[in-house]
Amino acid sequence: MAMNPVMDQLARPMRDLRISVTDRCNFRCTYCMPKEVFGDDYAFMPKEQLLSWEEIARVAKLYASLGVRKIRLTGGEPLLRRGLPELIRMLKGIEGIEEIGLTTNGLLLGLQAQSLYDAGIRRVNVSLDALDPELFGRINGRGIPSSAILKSMEQARQAGLQVKVNMVVQKGLNDQEIIPMAAYFKTLGVTLCFIEFMDVGNDNGWSLQRVVTKREIYEMLGGDAVLVPVSPRYPGEVSKRYRYRGGEAEVGFITSVSEAFCSTCSRVRLSSDGSIYTCLFASRGFDLRSLLRSGATDGELLAAIRGVWERRADRYSEERTEQSAAGRKKIGMSYIGG
């Protein structure tokens, strides 16, 4: 396939495609899908609204022709959607795609790790916000202990998957877990990435007062005496990475509040019902599913996809204030894919 890179209004290329395969999740994390909003009677999308594997693969192939090199499967919880290895195999066959990753809460990962590996997944990101079992049970809204996720992660590693852990840090909720988490995963040799609490969606009660910044966490871990910067693996890498002195273990930081990285953001998002979003904090998307299902040719789809990116001028995190965050309606994280 001829490669035809496309740039947005701020001369940013398109390199990363994040695909949400479902809006459902088996957790009710307070910052993403709080159970007060997503109760037992919450109406998730019916199956016919979701893109099929064939539709997703078709769109991914078009994105690859415009410069996308990495795909990450997200949700909701992607492992809830049946037959995911089938999609992974389809995506692996697309020319130009160099890596397919997966973000998961980890609960079902142990059971599915081998089939994911066999299909072609090599890297998974597991969300884990505390080691303390009672606190973690409160955060996930289901009372599931951290031990269940840690066991799943170990099974994934035994299957050959490279596991990275993501921790969303909130002041007054789980900031006391920063040191225990860092020590635990350093011993395991697993990279731990600290994520600043973000105002994704409208349901998580975000406030700047609840943000623990990268600088604060960095100093808690020992700062320059303990951590050495690591060069980015590729242009536009979101995580700022550090290696512990005298070892190979790493920590990372996603700093979308205190040190915004909009200027190098190369991510585009495809929601589970086929809308394109050019920012995690988007207020609206572009309906690609209607085009897909009305018989559009690849050329017509390509023109639409290219047009969405070429019009893109998003730089929300660079412009955010507490007031603008409160006043802006945003798409929920479970829908758009984190």
Report percent pLDDT > 70 for the chain.
88
Instruction: Identify the pLDDT of residue 199.
Output: 62
Residue 308 clears pLDDT 50, i.e. is over it:
yes
Instruction: Identify the pLDDT of residue 330.
Output: 56
Instruction: Identify the pLDDT of residue 1.
Output: 46
Kindly report, residue by residue over 123-176, the tens digit of the pLDDT.
999 999 999 999 999 999 999 999 999 999 999 999 999 999 999 999 999 999
Residue 2 pLDDT class (50, 70, 90 cuts):
very low
Residue 322 clears pLDDT 60, i.e. is over it:
no
Q: How far out from the chain centre does Cα 216 lie?
A: 23
Kindly report, residue by residue over 196-223, the tens digit of the pLDDT.
887 654 455 557 788 899 999 999 999 9
Whole-prediction pTM value? 0.90
Looking at per-residue pLDDT, the higher value among 319 and 138 belongs to 138
Across the chain, mean pLDDT equals: 90
Instruction: Identify the pLDDT of residue 210.
Output: 83
Instruction: Identify the pLDDT of residue 80.
Output: 97
Residue 32 pLDDT class (50, 70, 90 cuts):
confident
Instruction: Identify the pLDDT of residue 134.
Output: 97
β partners of residue 244: 227
Instruction: Identify the pLDDT of residue 131.
Output: 98
Instruction: Identify the pLDDT of residue 220.
Output: 96
Q: Which of 4, 5, 7, 3 is nearest to 264 (CA)?
A: 7
Residue 281 pLDDT class (50, 70, 90 cuts):
confident
Rounded to an integer, the average pLDDT of 251-275 is 86
Looking at per-residue pLDDT, the higher value among 204 and 56 belongs to 56
Looking at per-residue pLDDT, the higher value among 85 and 316 belongs to 85
